[in-house]
């Protein structure tokens, strides 16, 4: 599998994503700076990592969505190749139009950092097929993690089976308890919790292991 992690000014989970991917699958990821206009050849997977791209100015992910590299990321999606946006990466995917809806300020108006239980709504996707159980646990770390979409969009997401992860405790007040969604084609996923922070048995956190195993199998 060939993978790349996009690095924006303010990304802070780029290394987490790359090392988790390598630890679980053996695949090494290239780091791609936001100012690049092309991706490495023959990529299977692009990861948009967590962090605070551009310091979350304007809105979280709004400036990153307009970085030069994002045109190449959109072409990657159009070709049917895999994209995973984690936390800030999810925000970027909504801001650039690859996923519907928006990530807004948490209902508590506070930054939330905690482990949270998740229901796996779809176990037949490129991002979840390695999960054996219907639930897992991943950490969240966000101030703007509340997924919001209008009623028509929510109805379409639910009806099309595009909700992939759902909060069981909904720490940030997301619409329909949504923690992660995918596009119509099923090759682009945005997820607010961090699989990259829980893919190491040595620290007793393994909720993200099957996430990366799934990506490797799909690629």
- Would you place residue 90 in the very low, low, confident or very high pLDDT band (cuts 50, 70, 90)? very high
CA distance 61 to 27: 27
When the pLDDT of each residue in the chain is averaged and rounded to a whole number, the result is: 97
Q: How many residues are listed for the chain in this entry?
A: 219
Supply the residues annotated as catalytic.
Answer: 87, 194
Instruction: Say whether 78 sits in a helix, a strand or coil.
Output: helix
**Quick one: angle between helices 14-25 and 209-218, nearest 10?**
70
Confidence (pLDDT) at 70:
98
Mean pLDDT of 58-74: 96
Instruction: Say whether 17 sits in a helix, a strand or coil.
Output: helix
Q: Which residue from 12, 25, 6 is spatially nearest to 84, judged by alpha carbons?
A: 6
Could you report the per-residue pLDDT of 201-218, keeping only the tens digit for each?
998 999 999 999 999 999
CA distance 200 to 209: 7
Burial 166-201 (b: 16+ CB within 10 A, else e): bbeebbbbbbbbbbbbbbeebbbbbbbbbbbbbbbe
φ, ψ (nearest 5 deg) of residue 109 = 65, 25
Domain limits at 107? 3-218
**CATH assignment of the domain containing 115:** 3.40.50.880
State pTM to two decimals.
Answer: 0.97
Number of domains the chain is built from: 1
Could you report the per-residue pLDDT of 114-153, keeping only the tens digit for each?
999 999 999 999 999 999 999 999 999 999 999 999 999 9
pLDDT for 6 beyond 90: yes
pLDDT for 57 beyond 90: no
């Amino acid at each position: 599998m060939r993978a790349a992690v996009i690095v924006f000014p303010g990304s802070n989970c780029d290394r987490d994503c790359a090392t988790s991917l390598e630890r679980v699958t053996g695949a090494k990821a290239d780091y791609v700076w936001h100012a690049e206009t092309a991706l490495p050849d023959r990529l299977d997977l692009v990861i948009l990592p967590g962090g605070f791209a551009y310091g979350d100015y304007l809105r979280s992910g709004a400036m990153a969505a307009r970085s030069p590299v994002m045109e190449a990321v959109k072409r990657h999606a159009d070709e049917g190749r895999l994209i995973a946006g984690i936390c800030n990466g999810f925000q970027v995917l909504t801001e650039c139009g690859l996923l519907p809806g928006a990530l807004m300020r948490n209902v508590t108006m506070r930054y939330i950092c905690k482990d949270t239980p998740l229901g796996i709504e779809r176990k037949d996707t490129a991002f979840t097929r390695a999960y054996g159980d219907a639930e897992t646990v991943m950490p969240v770390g966000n101030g703007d993690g509340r997924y919001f979409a209008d009623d028509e969009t929510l109805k379409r997401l639910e009806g099309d089976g595009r909700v992939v992860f759902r909060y069981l405790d909904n720490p940030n007040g997301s619409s329909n308890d949504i923690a992660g969604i995918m596009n119509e084609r099923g090759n682009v996923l945005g997820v607010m919790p961090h699989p990259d922070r829980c893919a190491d048995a040595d620290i007793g956190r393994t909720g993200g292991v099957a996430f990366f195993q799934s990506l490797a199998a799909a690629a």
